[in-house]
């Protein structure tokens, strides 16, 4: 099966600029996750979708971050405006309804904010 | 909130040496436990999982992990490592009442010298 697709793979922007990341999950996976991974640390959940509904966004900094998952398939994560501390890898993952805890990860987008 | 601790941040071994990576979690209820691995240049992928039953679980590539409930631990082991095991390893916890939620540890970077 095709894996989770993310784009872009790398992004370099100046602070205060907006940036958007796109994720296409594995077909049939109703749950989609966005994680933040800082260097030398484990992934930290930003937001989780069950189909179109954001069911856990408690860790999403809502003053500058937003996400959407239209039609319950693709998802976009946006940062506006970006800050220096946002430099990290943004991971997207998806999981099917029957395999609790098993998540399939994309390659991530490495964001550098200058 | 639950947390996951991986005390070994960096481990360097020679080929054929035995491996044990520690993982402790803080959560009082029933949990599902996972080890994920990220090989250089690749995305995170599932290595092995524990839901219930035999506390010694076997995964891919000769890895195994033992769940010790009294110690809140889920250590990863391999009797004889290979150069190709060089990767970053993440322990993750899924509380039984948390749907598909995962909390990750900070990761352990393993380097195997040929």
Chain A residues with CB under 8 Å of a chain B CB are 3-4, 31, 40-45, 48, 55-56, 91, 93, 95, 100-108
* Mean pLDDT rounded to a whole number for chain B: 93
B1 pLDDT exceeds 80?
no
- pLDDT tops 70 at residue A55: yes
Whether B46 shows a pLDDT value over 70: the answer reads yes
pLDDT of A99 reads 80
- What was the pLDDT predicted at B65? 98
Which residue in chain B has the smallest CA separation from A98?
Answer: B100
Contact B21, B11 (CB under 8 A): yes
Show residues of chain A in contact with B3, CB under 8 Å: none
The angle formed by the CA atoms of residues A46, B4 and B72, to the nearest 5 degrees, is 145
Residue A71 has what pLDDT?
85
* Per-residue CA distances from B92 to A56, A64, A95, B59 (Å): 18, 28, 15, 15
Nearest CA in chain A to B47: A102
Asked if the model's pLDDT at residue A41 lies above 80, the reply is yes
Percent of chain B having pLDDT more than 90? Answer: 83
Q: How far is A43 from chain B (nearest CA, A)?
A: 6
**pLDDT > 70? residue A86:** yes
The CA distance from A25 to A2, in Å, is 9
pLDDT of amino acid A100: 80
pLDDT tens digit string along B47-88? 999 999 999 999 989 999 999 999 999 999 999 999 999 999
> Do the beta carbons of residue A54 and residue A46 sit within 8 Å?
no
Residues 6+ apart with CB under 8 A from B67: B33, B50, B55, B56, B57, B73, B74
Whether the per-residue pLDDT at A28 is higher than 70: the answer is yes
The count of other CB atoms within 10 Å of the CB of residue B86 is 17
Rounded Cα distance between B10 and B112, Å, is 11
Say whether residue B18 is in contact with chain A using an 8 A CB cutoff: no
Contacts of A104 in chain B (CB under 8 A): 45
Determine the residue of chain B that is closest to A3 in CA distance: B43
Tokens of A89: 């890898």
Tokens 């080929």 appear where? B15
> Considering CB atoms only, which of A42, A91, A100 is closest to B32?
A100
Question: pLDDT of B95-108, one tens digit each?
Answer: 877 778 899 999 99
pLDDT at residue A43 tops 80? yes
The whole-number average pLDDT for the span B2-9 is 90
CA distance A54 to chain B (A): 13
Assess whether pLDDT exceeds 90 at residue A70: no
CB B112: neighbour CB atoms within 10 A? 19
Position A42 scores a pLDDT of 94
pLDDT above 70 as % of chain B: 99
Which residues does chain A have within 8 Å of residue B106's beta carbon, measured at their own beta carbons? 40-42
Report how far residue B17's alpha carbon sits from residue B86's, in angstroms, rounded to the nearest whole number: 13
* Contact predicate B103/B3, CB 8 Å: yes
| pLDDT at residue A1 in the model | 64
């Amino acid at each position: 099966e095709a894996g989770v697709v993310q784009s872009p793979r790398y992004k370099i922007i100046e602070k205060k600029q907006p940036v958007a990341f796109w994720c296409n999950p594995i077909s049939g996976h109703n749950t989609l996750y966005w994680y933040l991974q800082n260097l030398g640390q484990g992934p930290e959940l930003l937001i989780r979708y069950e189909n179109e509904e954001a069911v856990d966004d408690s860790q999403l900094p809502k003053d500058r971050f937003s996400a959407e998952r239209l039609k319950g398939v693709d998802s976009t994560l946006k940062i506006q405006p970006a800050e220096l501390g946002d430099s990290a890898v943004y991971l997207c993952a998806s999981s099917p309804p029957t395999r609790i805890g098993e998540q399939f990860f994309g390659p991530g987008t490495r964001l550098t904010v200058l | 909130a639950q947390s996951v601790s991986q005390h070994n941040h960096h481990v360097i071994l020679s080929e054929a040496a035995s491996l044990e990576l520690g993982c402790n979690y803080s959560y009082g209820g029933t949990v599902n436990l996972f080890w994920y691995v990220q090989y250089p240049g690749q995305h995170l992928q599932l290595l092995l999982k524990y839901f219930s039953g035999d506390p010694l679980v076997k995964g891919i590539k000769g890895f195994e992990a033992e769940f010790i409930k009294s110690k809140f631990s889920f250590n990863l082991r391999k009797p004889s490592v290979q150069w190709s095991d060089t990767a970053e390893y993440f322990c993750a916890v899924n509380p039984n009442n948390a749907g598909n939620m995962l909390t990750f540890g900070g990761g352990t970077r393993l380097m195997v010298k040929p």
